[in-house]
Amino acid sequence: MSQIENYAAASCDPEKSLRPWQFGLSVLLGLQLLLAAILLFQGSAPENLSAQGPLLTFFPPTVRRLTIASPTREIVLERRGDPWQLADGFPADEEKVNALLEKLARIQRRIPVATSEAAQTRFRVAEDRFERRLVLEDDKQVLGTLYLGDSPGFRRLFVRAAGESAIYEAALNLFDAGDRPEDWTKKTALAVPEDQIQGIEAEDLSLRREGEHWTLADLQAGERLDSAAVQKLVRGLANLRFQKRLTAKPESLGASPTQRLRVQFDGKVREYAFFPQGENFVLKVSDRPEYFQIPSYQLEGWFPVKREALLNAEAGEAQIAPSSAGD
């Protein structure tokens, strides 16, 4: 009997042919393999597909100016010397700026998603229709311009380099390129090294660092400094972090602050004025023209600064070692 006849006979044999449940399992297995292949392809695009070189050719440390525009506003970040600053001179979050530049430098040319002008508009990467336009410059020229558009998925954006038609996917979020000054302000700009604080003055107290110890002026017999309270105060002032920078004094603030402090550090004096505002505080410091919104939790445990809160009549010493910056 020929092979064809043997196959036909086996197919007609109910014992050797596939049963319905076996056929169903085979179909299910096939669907699972197809789904796995689709997911594998999607997971590999565009990062794991063959790269054809960077989309923008630049070296992040050479960028001196970064302009971020949205359809409604534009901000400029500049590197003056080493630190990044906003256009008005306020310190920018250098870690965030550098992280964005590194992400942009890693975008590779791979298989384009689309190349037509209609697709540029649809994906919002056209010259007149975009989510963000990023312009990178050094001291002499524009290093590159990139349009950021809609998101095709989690942590992904459509992107297009100016002057090119190809649209790619990139591992970016739109919030990586915020278009508001508060997106880039350095929230720790008011912080000072803890070991540089030499003195703290309020209405009824004067703390001084003398060598390796803190002392309180006019300490009476039987009074002792509370080491934990002093450490909280020093650490709280050293690590002060604001939520928002305000260019003008809010109208809701009264004329008199809740408390004024004078802090000596690094050979200079900074005055702090704390104004209550709802659940938060607004802070004005003497060496900055702005006002700063401070969340209440930033002040918990040490504010307001009162003499009696720094005293411990039952334990402790009149002089205590200052807390170290690494605590």
pLDDT (0 to 100) of residue 186: 96
Report pTM.
0.75
Specify whether 154 is located in the same domain as 87.
Answer: yes
Considering only CA atoms, give the Rg of the chain: 32
pLDDT (0 to 100) of residue 29: 66
Determine, yes or no, domain membership for 228.
Answer: yes
For residue 326, name the pLDDT band (cuts at 50, 70, 90): very low
Specify whether 173 is located in the same domain as 220.
Answer: no
Specify whether 202 is located in the same domain as 297.
Answer: yes
Determine, yes or no, domain membership for 206.
Answer: yes
| For residues 295-299, average pLDDT | 94
Specify whether 210 is located in the same domain as 160.
Answer: no
The answer to whether 260 and 272 have CB atoms below 8 angstroms apart is yes
Higher model confidence: residue 40 or residue 167?
167
Specify whether 246 is located in the same domain as 168.
Answer: no
Determine, yes or no, domain membership for 104.
Answer: yes
Which domain, by its residues, includes 102? 60-183
pLDDT (tens digit, 9 = 90+) per residue, 111-141?
Answer: 999 999 999 999 999 999 999 999 999 999 9
Of 149, 183, 217, which residue is a domain's last? 183
pLDDT (tens digit, 9 = 90+) per residue, 241-267?
Answer: 999 999 888 888 877 899 999 999 998
Q: Which of 15-19, 68-72, 139-143, 278-282 has the lowest mean pLDDT?
A: 15-19
For residue 91, name the pLDDT band (cuts at 50, 70, 90): very high
Would you tell me how many other CB atoms lie within 10 Å of the CB of residue 9? 11
Specify whether 67 is located in the same domain as 169.
Answer: yes
Would the pLDDT of 145 be above 60? Answer: yes
Specify whether 264 is located in the same domain as 170.
Answer: no
Determine, yes or no, domain membership for 270.
Answer: yes
pLDDT (tens digit, 9 = 90+) per residue, 14-56?
Answer: 444 456 655 666 666 666 666 555 444 444 444 444 668 999 9
- CA 194/CA 214 separation, integer angstroms: 13
Determine, yes or no, domain membership for 290.
Answer: yes
- β 244-246/197-202 pair status: unpaired
Give the residue among 267, 270, 292, 293 at the shortest CA–CA distance from 280: 293
pLDDT (0 to 100) of residue 8: 42
Domain count, the chain: 2
For residue 212, name the pLDDT band (cuts at 50, 70, 90): confident
